[in-house]
């Protein structure tokens, strides 16, 4: 009796030697008017006369977690779903499971690539697993494409994900070198999916690079930020030396060669040297925005947030606007300064 009961209901576990007391989970289906038990005939027979207690506990639980308003709750996996899930996890290895939700449908797996980087793979199983393909997601710079058939397993998803990670090893090596050896202004806390880095060059001068995940050592998209009197010579060097780019060398060394500079590093400079606050709001970071609008007057060079400078100039009667550009005077030195309308203002 005991073996067949556990076989038909794999989420039940005997907690005494006599195997007369069990703990675990029973599948229920929630409808608008009732709560139906989904279990084997043997278990239904054992629960006869106690259905009202089970349904009462289910109702209380549903009220606590607010699941009555969730339409997906009507799709309850059959008992075989749980048996299949347990079997697949035993094959994959329970040590790879970080967490699983209360519905046993969303799994978070930990995966380590060949370079020792830790990744998290999120798998959302459908109630008809494995007949239906699961939804898979991870912190990657490219869409995660998983091949799935009704015969596929979690172990096969894990293997495919490892292959994807290996294909991105060079991309992450490039960005890890930049993160180690330069001061990164943006993003503040890079994730594995971020392809952009804004690297400090000097006081109020930086370069924004967009690295191609498929060709990480090729010349990236570059955008120099800062006062024109400083940025223009750097832009000229970049255009003149572009032919010197060597795909066999590291991206960081190539950037230094074509710009004819050395990037400040954590070993030689403090980050505070590049975190100059905005001259209007007196803060460095305004939500996700940095003060990258710099006065071109060599005697001034005061940085501003684009939003702050735009609002400041627009409020002055002496300023004028042409399309999306506002022309006015620097709040500090009164020399001419211009700013484009922030994109969120359009």
Query: What value does the mean pLDDT take over residues 5-14?
Result: 72
167: its two tokens: 């294909």
C-alpha distances out from residue 203 to 99, 186, 233, 277, Å:
45, 15, 15, 11
62: its two tokens: 């549903």
Q: 3-state class of 73 per DSSP? A: helix
Fold: same for 79-169 and 182-272 = yes
d(C-alpha 182, C-alpha 195), whole Å: 16
What pLDDT was estimated at residue 344?
63
What pLDDT was estimated at residue 1?
53
Q: pLDDT per residue over 142-177, tens digit each? A: 999 999 999 999 999 999 999 999 999 999 999 999
The helix (run of H) or strand (run of E) holding residue 82 is helix 79-92
68: its two tokens: 């009555």
The whole-chain average pLDDT of the chain stands at: 87
Q: pLDDT per residue over 294-325, tens digit each? A: 888 888 888 899 999 999 999 999 999 998 89
Split at pLDDT 50, 70, 90, the class of 72 is very low
Q: What is the DSSP string of 28-56?
A: EEE-SS-EEEE--HHHHHHTTT-HHHHHH
Split at pLDDT 50, 70, 90, the class of 74 is very low
220: its two tokens: 């990236």
CA-wise closest residue to 131 among 91, 84, 75, 76? 84
Q: Is the model more confident about 182 or about 20?
A: 182
Taking the whole predicted model, whether its pTM rises above 0.85 is answered as no
d(C-alpha 193, C-alpha 87), whole Å: 32
Pairing of strands 106-112, 293-294: unpaired
**Per-residue DSSP letter, 289:** B
What pLDDT was estimated at residue 229?
86
Residues above pLDDT 90, as percent of the chain: 56
Helix segments in 93-220, DSSP class H: 154-167, 169-181
CA-wise closest residue to 310 among 297, 326, 294? 326
236: its two tokens: 């000229």
**Per-residue DSSP letter, 346:** -
Q: pLDDT per residue over 47-62, tens digit each? A: 777 777 777 777 776 6
Pairing of strands 336-340, 325-329: antiparallel
> Hey, what CATH class is 79-169 in?
alpha beta
Given 3.90.230.10, 3.30.40.10, 3.40.50.150, 3.30.70.3340, which CATH number is that of 277-340? Answer: 3.30.40.10
CA-wise closest residue to 115 among 178, 172, 192, 175? 172
Query: What value does the mean pLDDT take over residues 290-295?
Result: 86
State the angle between helix axes of 154-167 and 169-181 in degrees (0 to 180), rounded to the nearest 10: 50
Q: Where are the domains of the chain?
A: 1-69, 79-169, 182-272, 277-340
> Within 13 A of 151's CA, how many CA atoms are on the CB side?
0
Fold designation for 182-272: Ubiquitin Conjugating Enzyme (3.10.110)
Query: What value does the mean pLDDT take over residues 268-294?
Result: 81
d(C-alpha 117, C-alpha 315), whole Å: 50
What pLDDT was estimated at residue 31?
67
What pLDDT was estimated at residue 36?
72
Q: Is the model more confident about 47 or about 121?
A: 121
What pLDDT was estimated at residue 18?
77
Under 8 Å CB-to-CB from 232, ≥6 apart: which residues?
A: none
Split at pLDDT 50, 70, 90, the class of 32 is low
Q: 3-state class of 229 per DSSP? A: helix
Sign (positive/negative) of CA torsion 262, 264, 266, 268? Answer: positive
Using CB atoms within 10 A of its CB, is residue 303 exposed (0-12), middle (13-18) or buried (19+)?
Answer: buried
107: its two tokens: 């799994």
């Amino acid at each position: 009796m005991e073996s067949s009961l556990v076989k038909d209901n794999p989420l039940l576990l005997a907690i005494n030697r006599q195997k007369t007391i069990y703990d675990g989970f029973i599948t229920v289906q929630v409808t608008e008017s009732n709560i139906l038990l989904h279990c084997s005939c043997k278990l239904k027979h054992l629960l006869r006369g106690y259905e009202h207690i089970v349904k009462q506990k289910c109702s209380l639980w549903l009220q606590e977690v607010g699941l009555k308003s969730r339409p997906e709750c009507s799709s309850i996996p059959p008992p075989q779903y749980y048996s299949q899930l347990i079997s697949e996890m035993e094959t994959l290895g329970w040590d790879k499971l970080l967490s699983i939700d209360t519905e046993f449908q969303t799994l978070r797996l930990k995966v380590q690539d060949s370079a020792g980087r830790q990744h998290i793979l999120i798998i959302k199983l459908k109630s008809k697993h494995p007949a239906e393909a699961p939804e898979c997601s991870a912190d990657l710079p490219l869409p995660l494409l998983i091949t799935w058939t009704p015969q596929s397993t979690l172990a096969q998803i894990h293997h495919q994900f490892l292959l994807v990670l290996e294909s991105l090893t060079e991309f992450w090596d490039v960005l890890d070198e930049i993160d180690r050896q330069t001061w990164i202004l943006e993003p503040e806390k890079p994730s594995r999916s971020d392809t952009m880095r804004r690297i400090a060059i000097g006081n109020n001068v930086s370069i924004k690079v967009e690295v191609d995940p498929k060709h990480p050592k090729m010349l990236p998209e570059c955008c120099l930020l800062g006062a024109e009197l400083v940025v223009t010579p750097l832009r000229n060097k970049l255009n003149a030396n572009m032919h010197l780019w060597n795909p066999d060398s590291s991206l960081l060394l190539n950037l230094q060669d074509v710009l004819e500079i050395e990037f400040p590093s954590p070993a030689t400079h403090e980050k505070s040297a590049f975190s100059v606050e905005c001259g209007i709001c007196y803060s460095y970071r305004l939500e996700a925005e940095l003060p990258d609008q710099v006065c071109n007057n060599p005697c001034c060079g005061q940085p501003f947030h684009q939003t702050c400078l735009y609002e400041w100039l627009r409020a002055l009667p002496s300023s004028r606007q042409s399309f999306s550009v506002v022309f006015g005077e620097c709040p500090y030195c009164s020399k001419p300064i211009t700013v484009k309308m922030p994109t969120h203002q359009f």
